[in-house]
Amino acid sequence: MKTLHFKALGFCLFLLGLIFPNFSPLNAQDEKIEKEDPIVVFSYMKSKNGDYEKMEKEIWKPYMNQEIKNGRMLFWAVYDVAFPGGKNTEYDFVTINVYASIEQLENSWIGYEKRIKKVHPGLDLTKLEKRTEDSRDLVWNEAFRLLASADSKIGEAAKVIVANRMQSKPDKYNEYIRMELKTFAPAHKISVKQGYRKNWHFLSRAMPYGSEYDYDFLTFDSYDSMSQMGKATPANVWQDAHPDKDIEAIWAELNPEKLRILMRGEVWINIIYANDIDKKVAEK
């Protein structure tokens, strides 16, 4: 839903790419950027009552369905934060909005009032705003660049996401990226093909930024179920991903603790996601 000034955010993202060398995740000399990375916006919500889920399902899911069908975004979903849980947690839901580019993000909410009324004729936007504020608090937003995925398809949401917040060690930013892209990503692709997980994603921080934030990367381990999440990935996956090396050499090279710190891991359960709808609301 509309929770921040996306046009200003898009402009800031563009400026960051020009000003900060580390903002480009593939700025090492042996890496090349072939296309613009998708932008993923996370909104962390603290619900106030049961109307929050109902509103997301009844109002925002049909609207996001249509936004995807009309090419304004790639993906939208709502996740329940299973772990950590309890009344004292800072947030209990996370919404995920995925955009193909900064330009798509920048334009995502321009003229949304007209479009949402095509999906919900007679909707009172003032009442919707009040209902939104009464049902939840927006704790914070952050935007990340999607650098890599084990499966490039964007569509059905994973039932379970293990969200890992990673902080690269000092002067190890690019080295950590290379480890994820060159060593882990091939193994995760094999793992998906062999049914040990649904997907894997690697993301780098875009906005906000700075030393105040204690993680600059996210890795998402995605599964079809909690049972799938609990199964260990066998060693042959690594061997299949790196056939030119024996398994001992692979494990000897892997030393993630020298490159990054796992700051926090959470388990999210999908409750809603946008998908195709039977009847397209034509854009005018």
pLDDT reported for residue 11: 37
How far apart (Å, rounded) are the C-alpha atoms in residues 51 and 131?
Answer: 8
pLDDT reported for residue 82: 97
239 lies in some domain = yes
Domain region containing 122: 6-273
Q: What are phi and psi of 149, to 5 degrees?
A: -140, 150
Query: Total domain count for the chain?
Result: 1
Specify which residues 68 forms β-bridges with.
none
209 lies in some domain = yes
pLDDT reported for residue 70: 94
1 lies in some domain = no
Task: Check residue 178 and report its DSSP letter.
Answer: H
pLDDT reported for residue 7: 38
Count of CB atoms within 10 A of residue 74's CB? 20
Domain with residue 264: its CATH number is 3.30.70.100
Per-residue pLDDT of the chain (284 residues; tens, 9 = 90+): 554 444 344 434 433 333 333 333 333 333 444 568 999 999 999 999 999 999 999 999 999 999 999 999 999 999 999 999 998 999 999 999 999 999 999 999 999 999 999 999 999 999 999 999 999 999 999 999 999 999 987 778 999 999 999 999 999 999 999 999 999 999 999 999 999 999 999 999 999 998 889 999 999 999 999 999 999 899 899 999 999 988 787 777 778 999 999 999 999 999 999 975 443 443 44
Q: 227-234: which pairs have CB atoms within 8 A and are 24 or more residues apart?
A: 228/160, 228/196, 228/197, 228/198, 229/160, 229/162, 229/197, 229/267, 231/196, 233/187, 233/191, 233/196, 233/197, 234/196
pLDDT reported for residue 1: 57
158 lies in some domain = yes
279 lies in some domain = no
282 lies in some domain = no
How far apart (Å, rounded) are the C-alpha atoms in residues 25 and 22?
Answer: 6
Q: Which helix (H) or strand (E) holds 54?
A: helix 51-55
Burial class (CB in 10 A: 0-12, 13-18, 19+), 154: middle
284 lies in some domain = no
The tokens of 274 are what?
């946008």
Residue ranges with strand state E in 100-209: 136-149, 160-168, 199-207
Parallel, antiparallel, or unpaired for β 217-223 and 260-273?
unpaired
